[in-house]
């Protein structure tokens, strides 16, 4: 049984920009997948289609038992409950605390009561090692710490899938490694992770499935693949 099934998907922006061309692949629950390719290859577009920020022009995308294109605006929260996302420019309520920024997402999705919100929030902050910073304001944190909060927010509702778009961009090597370790930990807890990345060292060192895009085409789908086909 496949968790994600992408069939012959093409995405054309503005009727002329072919961001993705006839892409087909599927992903099982629990996989870790790197999405690589040059800038403009279509990585972000692929992630955006998976969480329905964009809709494909042709083809089908199935997440669990749901076809993404058939989801109504009102049902979108059901998809977002299955999907946690860590995007390049994650927005926070910058003058609110770390705790408040996570807690507001628990409430938004599940309508949970206050004690459940606190339990879920603290649990997510614990996973990313930010429990001791929960009363800090977002704008007092380093970039790496803000990325951890973004990851906590992505996992707080226990999604089956986490999507991350270049989560280690703008981080130094040490901070980047810490962030990568968090994604491997989240994956080892059973969550499917799909990550767009330019981090060739990481892709080559921690071997996982690689989906490589080039000018919108899926040119490689390789288990335990490196950053280049023939390293």
Interface ranges with ligand ADP (CB under 6 A): 13-14, 17, 19, 37, 39-45
Distances (CA, A) of 109 to 65, 80, 117, 189, 198: 19, 8, 11, 21, 31
Residue 50 C-beta: closest distance to ligand ADP, Å: 12
Judged by beta carbon, residue 8 or residue 116, the one nearer ligand ADP is 8
Per-residue b or e along 139-170, where b marks 16 or more CB atoms closer than 10 Å to that residue's CB: eebeebbbbbbbbbbbbbbebbbbbbbbbbee
Judged by beta carbon, residue 40 or residue 64, the one nearer ligand ADP is 40
Residue 24 C-beta: closest distance to ligand ADP, Å: 17
Rounded CA gap, 98 and 93, in Å?
A: 9
Gyration radius from the chain CA atoms: 17
Residue 188 C-beta: closest distance to ligand ADP, Å: 27
Judged by beta carbon, residue 125 or residue 163, the one nearer ligand ADP is 163
Residue 41 C-beta: closest distance to ligand ADP, Å: 4
Judged by beta carbon, residue 152 or residue 193, the one nearer ligand ADP is 193
């Amino acid at each position: 049984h496949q968790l994600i099934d992408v069939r012959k998907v093409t995405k054309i922006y503005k009727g002329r920009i072919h961001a993705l061309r006839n892409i087909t692949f599927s992903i099982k629950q629990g996989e870790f997948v790197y999405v690589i390719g040059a800038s403009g290859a279509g990585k972000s577009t692929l992630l955006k289609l998976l969480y329905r920020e964009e809709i494909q022009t042709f083809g089908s995308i199935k997440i669990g038992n749901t076809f993404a294109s058939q989801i109504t605006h009102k049902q979108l929260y059901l998809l977002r409950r299955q999907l946690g996302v860590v995007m390049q420019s994650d927005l926070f309520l910058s003058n609110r605390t770390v705790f408040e920024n996570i807690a507001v997402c628990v409430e938004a999705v599940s309508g949970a009561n206050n004690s459940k919100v606190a339990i879920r929030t603290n649990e997510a902050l614990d996973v990313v090692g930010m429990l001791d910073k929960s009363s800090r304001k977002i704008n007092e944190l380093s970039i790496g710490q803000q990325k951890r909060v973004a990851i906590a927010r992505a996992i707080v509702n226990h999604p089956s899938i986490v999507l991350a778009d270049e989560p280690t961009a703008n981080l130094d090597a040490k901070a980047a490694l810490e962030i990568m370790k968090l994604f491997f930990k989240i994956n080892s807890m059973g969550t499917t992770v799909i990550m767009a990345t330019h981090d060739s060292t990481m892709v080559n060192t921690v071997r996982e499935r690689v989906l490589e895009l080039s000018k919108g085409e899926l040119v490689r789908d390789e288990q335990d693949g490196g950053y280049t086909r023939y390293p």
